[in-house]
Structure 1
């Protein structure tokens, strides 16, 4: 960004106009049940197009759009999404669903045991695909009716699938929220996954305990034919997930890790004969038809990619207009006077932005490059810590509210499956019982208040900050300034 500020009519607050138009469009679409990354395109386009009318220097405005779209971190998000989309479809096509179901049924689990298996299966699947809605669509149609007939509590069984799906969205290195949170903060995937794991797994353990207490109590009935081919070979697809995880933790670039994962998934799918070369890529019979899994995977993330570019452009206008600097200064002066309150402000700001929007990744794009990064840098928080605060925050309340995409998909899938089998279906409001969302909220608030799992840019700052926090909630402005001077 250049030194010259982008001048807008209305002064510094004029920079809010494009973002205001975008938010109005997002909330309107979400409230009418029409939210989604592709419908959001129009809102983003209108925000940029109408915003230029309020710019005093139209050329500067247009250059800001280009700078935003060509942002390096934004391009990492785009590239990662392209490979993550294909990887998710490869995991499904490779029989992972059937493998997980085979494992569940072979154990002979009933009642609360099946509820716990459903939760773990959704955790594993979402960790492998990084997609909460994909996990729900793949697992719920079979896991819900199966668990119902095997004596699981219907409501807790349903929310266990939703809870497990959230886990992967929160932690998986190929999840769009993980990629966006890491990229916008300049954090490496290795550091993000390693430092987020204690937070996510703690929330998962609490969820497991809750489900173990309340997940049973149903009546075991004769299980009808489920109409799906189950077998252990699909579990081999988990090896592709291991490849991605190990490669990421070794410090390799996320694109490299995703490519290795894609190639491994292809090889395993071909070896087990769940996938054929024809399914991966073929010349279609007529123009317009799909060429296979690769094309379908890329097309599946096109909506996200285009919306990311639009949001990056609008975010850059916010930055260059000076409104973010003004908001940051106000927050530091009035709210974030200590490292504790700074972290709490990051958590609540992220949650607040995510409430009206029906997709959580756009919420991260709105607050990540601007508010979260600036606040975190002021208090010397490590990039991975900033990424973890915002990612965990956006995976809490978001997964409780009925107008969000994942919750709508969860309810419609559960209700459709229940209707097909003639069994009870819980209402959409039961998403409010999502134990992982509540557990993660409790964990991240505990972490911010106590300092547990907090990391700073310089390791020496951790000891100094901990000393201050143990005695009293002393402002860290002087500490940070001293660190910079040194």
Structure 2
């Protein structure tokens, strides 16, 4: 495939999308005024009009190629199945019982911290942030409904926990992409990452604890739950932790929840089918956003926008520390433009490898930086799959969730500090490399 020529103007459609989507909300004070699909469609029309050298049919082919990318279609499948599982689980009482169980044994002020920690555990076990958020979002909605904790705050905690594992899990596609493009070992990259992001995770838990410390004041002490109704969630979480493919996990969750609901008399067979259909319908807009955004990104790439970003950032590199900042800047810029951390790592990875080789940056270090900053950006952009997913389940604006995505924000800070202070370091003792957590 021929590399497209660098072209700054190719990024204009993306700027238009951001201005329409976020700018209109800031101006009007209502982020629902401008439908996301309308903003995306206007941006796509501009992208189709930019490159006059290519015929219209070629540009339409690029649009459909991007929208039909395997990662995009997989995301759509996950969204639809997640919507169906959420609808069926809610219909058979799983959400209410799960929340009531948590409220029975946890003070209200610990519920959000608990969701964050559970999200960290699930995501690092199953290797997917998207699968984690769609599994926990319905529970988060229930927590918000039965406490005085804001829905956006709860969703932000879930996204934060999901991005922890997305960055660290050895089976995460972002981790695998970072390791492979940088030619290092998985365990070495994990060690480098762990020392950097663990303080961010601890501080995040503390912040959530402080923010929700007085939540128990509004709680009702009478919580009824049926442990049988909780089994579908336990099944989903168990298989997720076991590393089962997220598609199998969600399909199994739908069947399991449906079976329990039928046995308990919560709904009939046709009502179960209706719930599945309602769940699909609830996620249709989100699926269309993913497809159109994928098409827009491919048009921008084909017109030279991504190549322009890569060249601009790489020109600033002139030292080891500058190389590390360059790698961070490249993957950050690409992730903001593609809204997909896996694609951004695959795109920026080869150039990051060149920079690493030229300025003596270890592979484990460059892989860690790639993954940290890609995951950080992915967890704070309101048009990213993770935030769109929880916003869809919670029926709130994705922009409202961003301020509460504390862990991704702190991860970026931790990454910058790690570059500034050469943290973590390792030394050689008795012929073996030993990692140190202090600079």
Where do 5+ consecutive residues of structure 2 fail to align? 123-130, 181-185, 354-362, 426-431
Residue 391 (structure 1) aligns with: 375
Contact 1:118 1:143 in 2 (8 A): no
Tell me, yes or no, if structure 1 residue 86 matches structure 2 residue 84. Answer: yes
Residue 352 (structure 2) aligns with: 379
Equivalent position SS for 2:147: helix
Tell me, yes or no, if structure 1 residue 114 matches structure 2 residue 108. Answer: yes
Distance in 2 (CA, whole Å) between partners of 1:159 and 1:86 is 22
Specify which of 312, 315, 324 is matched with residue 340 of structure 1.
324
So what's the TM-score if we normalise by structure 1? 0.61
Equivalent position SS for 2:225: coil
So what's the TM-score if we normalise by structure 2? 0.67
Tell me, yes or no, if structure 1 residue 57 matches structure 2 residue 54. Answer: yes
Residue 478 (structure 1) aligns with: none
Residue 158 (structure 2) aligns with: 165
Contact 2:11 2:300 in 1 (8 A): yes
Residue 298 (structure 2) aligns with: 316
Distance in 1 (CA, whole Å) between partners of 2:75 and 2:176 is 7
Deviation of residue 230 (structure 1)? 3.3
Deviation of residue 333 (structure 1)? 2.3
Distance in 1 (CA, whole Å) between partners of 2:416 and 2:265 is 46
Distance in 2 (CA, whole Å) between partners of 1:171 and 1:276 is 39
**Per the alignment, do residues 309 and 244 of structure 1 end up closer, same or farther by CA in structure 2, a change over 3 Å counting?**
same
Specify which of 31, 40, 45 is matched with residue 36 of structure 2.
40
Q: Which has the higher contact order (CA 8 A, sep 6+)?
A: 2
Tell me, yes or no, if structure 1 residue 27 matches structure 2 residue 26. Answer: no
Deviation of residue 379 (structure 1)? 2.9
Residue 15 (structure 1) aligns with: 10
**Per the alignment, do residues 182 and 90 of structure 1 end up closer, same or farther by CA in structure 2, a change over 3 Å counting?**
farther
Tell me, yes or no, if structure 1 residue 237 matches structure 2 residue 232. Answer: yes
Tell me, yes or no, if structure 1 residue 206 matches structure 2 residue 203. Answer: yes
Moved more, 301-310 or 209-218: 209-218
**Per the alignment, do residues 99 and 323 of structure 1 end up closer, same or farther by CA in structure 2, a change over 3 Å counting?**
same
Distance in 1 (CA, whole Å) between partners of 2:393 and 2:75 is 24
Write out per-residue CA displacement over residues 5-47 of structure 1, whole angstroms, 9 at most, x where no aligned residue.
58xxxx8334233323323322334323554699221222222
Write out per-residue CA displacement over residues 420-469 of structure 1, whole angstroms, 9 at most, x where no aligned residue.
xxxxxxxx99996776465544455456665669xxxxxxxxx99x99xx
Residue 343 (structure 2) aligns with: 369
Residue 130 (structure 1) aligns with: 133
Deviation of residue 220 (structure 1)? 5.7
User: How many pairs align?
Assistant: 389
Distance in 1 (CA, whole Å) between partners of 2:315 and 2:145 is 51
Deviation of residue 86 (structure 1)? 1.8
**Per the alignment, do residues 26 and 452 of structure 1 end up closer, same or farther by CA in structure 2, a change over 3 Å counting?**
farther
Write out per-residue CA displacement over residues 129-174 of structure 1, whole angstroms, 9 at most, x where no aligned residue.
6147655433212122xxxxxxxxx7xx88873553333543578x
Moved more, 52-61 or 385-394: 385-394
Distance in 1 (CA, whole Å) between partners of 2:272 and 2:334 is 39
Contact 2:66 2:295 in 1 (8 A): yes
Distance in 2 (CA, whole Å) between partners of 1:38 and 1:295 is 27
Contact 1:207 1:435 in 2 (8 A): yes
Question: How is 1:256-267 mapped onto 2 (pairs within 5 angstroms)?
Answer: 256-267=248-259
**Per the alignment, do residues 74 and 410 of structure 1 end up closer, same or farther by CA in structure 2, a change over 3 Å counting?**
closer
**Per the alignment, do residues 5 and 238 of structure 1 end up closer, same or farther by CA in structure 2, a change over 3 Å counting?**
closer
Contact 2:7 2:305 in 1 (8 A): yes
Contact 2:163 2:376 in 1 (8 A): yes
Tell me, yes or no, if structure 1 residue 303 matches structure 2 residue 285. Answer: yes
Distance in 2 (CA, whole Å) between partners of 1:179 and 1:125 is 14
**Per the alignment, do residues 310 and 276 of structure 1 end up closer, same or farther by CA in structure 2, a change over 3 Å counting?**
same
**Per the alignment, do residues 393 and 333 of structure 1 end up closer, same or farther by CA in structure 2, a change over 3 Å counting?**
same
Moved more, 300-309 or 23-32: 23-32
Contact 2:89 2:257 in 1 (8 A): yes
Deviation of residue 115 (structure 1)? 0.3
Residue 98 (structure 2) aligns with: 100
